[in-house]
């Protein structure tokens, strides 16, 4: 049998650790806020969709009234954008809320939940806190998928839910459609729900795989407004399945009024702001390539290639250094990244996750890392 790792509730593991704020780092090290590059939260450096910001402002006049409990108008807008009936859509206060709904609706305490290691930490954090058991399948290497091992675990363990991330976090790698289909086909006829998380799909310059839900009635696709649309602080996410019966339980168990008027108005407007998304994606693609070229040839560090997201991994090659020591030294220089030893199970202390931002921030990061490479 394939070797995987199942864990019961681990109360000693730290909760999710968000990226630090510019304000906190500036105050700690005596820096001007504008001299701090925030590259640890995968936010949109261009800010929110302008159309969404205007719609949120206009919706303020309605905050004395309860909103529609089912977010019907937003579900209709999502359905129209992507070609689904509104009853095939569930909306949440961030994609993370939809993940929690999926776990509660489609698994019981003690059930196993399948995921790669490393993965988006919320998968296993919510799994553990809900009394389910995360089942980790390691990558083939620190950055490459092993779908053969994943499929073997799926068939042997019959998990209640199988998570696949497209593109993957924290590596940014893009699974092939063939591999996603292999997972869905292996789960067909079982009680396993396949969850395809496409939070960062815009940055891959592909349409993603919502269409696969029409072929697999046990597949749901999750997306967020936090990244390409720039609405991380508004808290908006959604799930889509061609099988409306898959979505109905999620809407039934969600908090009754989980989205307010300003959230739904902002989401509807953002869906219509293709120009903002296109500008963001073009910048990310350009700066990803720019950074890769700038970091080529370092001795202590290596930018891991192959990311199709708005972040990438930096591997620490010097055995005398750790991700935490490098993370702290970068903070001193006004650069916030993500220490992968904190949240990402399976990566150890050899990697940092770094966002792709505007040129000013990338130049600050490049300069800081080059300086550490020359003179630690």
What domains are there in the chain, each with its CATH number?
Answer: 19-47+275-374 (3.90.1150.10), 50-273 (3.40.640.10)
Residue 187 has a CB neighbour count (10 Å cut-off) of: 23
Q: What confidence tens digit (pLDDT) does each residue in 234-270 have?
A: 999 999 999 999 999 999 999 999 999 999 999 999 9
Q: How many residues does the chain have?
A: 376
Average pLDDT over residues 284-289: 98
Tokens at 69, concatenated: 């409990």
Q: For all residues of the chain together, what is the average pLDDT?
A: 95
pLDDT for res 10: 53
pLDDT for res 5: 61
- For residue 129, pLDDT beyond 80: yes
Q: What confidence tens digit (pLDDT) does each residue in 329-341 have?
A: 999 999 999 999 9
pLDDT for res 313: 97
pLDDT for res 14: 64
CA–CA distance, 118 with 121 (Å, rounded to integer): 8
Q: Provide, rounded to the nearest whole percent, the portion of the chain with pLDDT above 90.
A: 91
Contacts of 275-283 with CB under 8 Å at 24 or more apart are 276/46, 276/49, 276/50, 276/51, 276/229, 276/230, 277/49, 277/202, 277/228, 277/229, 279/46, 280/44, 280/46, 280/202, 280/228, 280/230, 281/202, 281/203, 281/205, 281/228, 283/45, 283/46, 283/356, 283/358
pLDDT for res 1: 37
Q: What confidence tens digit (pLDDT) does each residue in 148-174 have?
A: 999 999 999 999 999 999 999 999 999
pLDDT for res 81: 98
pLDDT for res 178: 98
The dihedral built from the CA positions of residue 18, 23, 28 and 30, taken in this order, carries a sign that is positive
CA–CA distance, 187 with 236 (Å, rounded to integer): 29
Average pLDDT over residues 286-298: 97
- For residue 16, pLDDT beyond 80: no
Do strands 338-339 and 351-355 pair parallel, antiparallel, or not at all (unpaired)?
antiparallel
Residue 346: pLDDT band (50, 70, 90) is confident
Average pLDDT over residues 204-218: 98
- For residue 76, pLDDT beyond 90: yes
- For residue 183, pLDDT beyond 60: yes
- For residue 180, pLDDT beyond 60: yes
Q: What confidence tens digit (pLDDT) does each residue in 22-43 have?
A: 999 999 999 999 999 999 999 9
Query: What is the three-state SS of the chain?
Result: CCCCEECCCCCCCCCCCCCCCHHHHHHHHCCCHHHCEECCCCCCCCCCCHHHHHHHHHHHHHCCCCCCCCCHHHHHHHHHHHCCCHHHEEEECCHHHHHHHHHHHHCCCCCEEEEEECCCHHHHHHHHHCCCEEEEEECCCCCCCCHHHHHHHHHHHCCCEEEEECCCCCCCCCCCHHHHHHHHHHHCCCCCEEEEECCCHHHHCCCCCHHHHHCCCCEEEEEECCCCCCCCCCCCEEEECCCHHHHHHHHHHCCCCCCCHHHHHHHHHHHCCHHHHHHHHHHHHHHHHHHHHHHCCCCCEEECCCCCCCEEEEEECCCCCCHHHHHHHHHHCCEECEEHHHHCCCCCCCEEEEECCCHHHHHHHHHHHHHHHHCC
């Amino acid at each position: 049998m394939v070797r995987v790792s199942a864990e019961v509730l681990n109360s000693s593991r730290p909760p999710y650790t968000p990226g630090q704020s510019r304000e906190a780092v500036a105050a700690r090290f005596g820096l001007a806020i504008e001299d701090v590059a925030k590259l640890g939260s995968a936010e949109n450096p261009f800010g929110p969709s302008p159309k969404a910001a205007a719609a949120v402002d206009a919706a303020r006049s309605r905050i004395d009234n309860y909103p529609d409990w089912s977010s019907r108008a937003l579900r209709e807008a999502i359905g129209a954008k992507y070609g689904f009936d509104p009853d095939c859509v569930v909306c949440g206060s961030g994609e993370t809320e939809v993940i929690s709904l999926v776990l509660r609706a489609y698994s019981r305490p003690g059930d196993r939940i399948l995921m790669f290691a490393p993965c988006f930490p919320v998968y296993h954090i919510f799994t553990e806190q809900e009394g389910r058991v995360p089942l980790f399948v390691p990558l083939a290497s620190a950055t490459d998928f092993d779908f053969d091992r994943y499929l073997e675990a799926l068939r042997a363990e019959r998990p209640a839910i199988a998570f696949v991330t497209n593109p993957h976090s924290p590596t940014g790698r893009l699974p092939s459609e063939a591999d996603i289909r292999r997972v869905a086909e292996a789960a067909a006829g079982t009680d396993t729900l396949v969850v395809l998380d496409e939070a960062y799909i815009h940055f891959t310059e592909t349409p993603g795989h919502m269409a696969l839900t029409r072929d697999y009635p046990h597949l749901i696709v999750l997306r967020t407004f936090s990244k390409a649309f720039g609405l991380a602080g508004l808290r908006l996410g959604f799930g889509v399945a061609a099988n409306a019966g898959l979505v109905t339980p999620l809407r039934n168990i969600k908090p009754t009024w989980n989205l307010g008027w300003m959230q739904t108005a902002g989401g509807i407007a953002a869906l219509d702001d293709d120009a903002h998304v296109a500008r963001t994606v073009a910048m990310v693609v350009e700066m990803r390539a720019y950074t890769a070229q700038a970091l080529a040839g370092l001795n202590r560090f290596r930018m891991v290639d192959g990311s199709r997201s708005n972040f990438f991994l930096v591997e620490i090659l010097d055995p005398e250094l750790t991700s935490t020591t490098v993370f702290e030294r970068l903070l001193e220089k006004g650069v916030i990244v993500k220490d992968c030893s904190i949240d990402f199970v399976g990566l150890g202390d050899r990697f940092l996750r770094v966002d792709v931002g505007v040129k000013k921030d990338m130049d600050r990061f490049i300069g800081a890392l080059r300086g550490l490479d020359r003179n630690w």
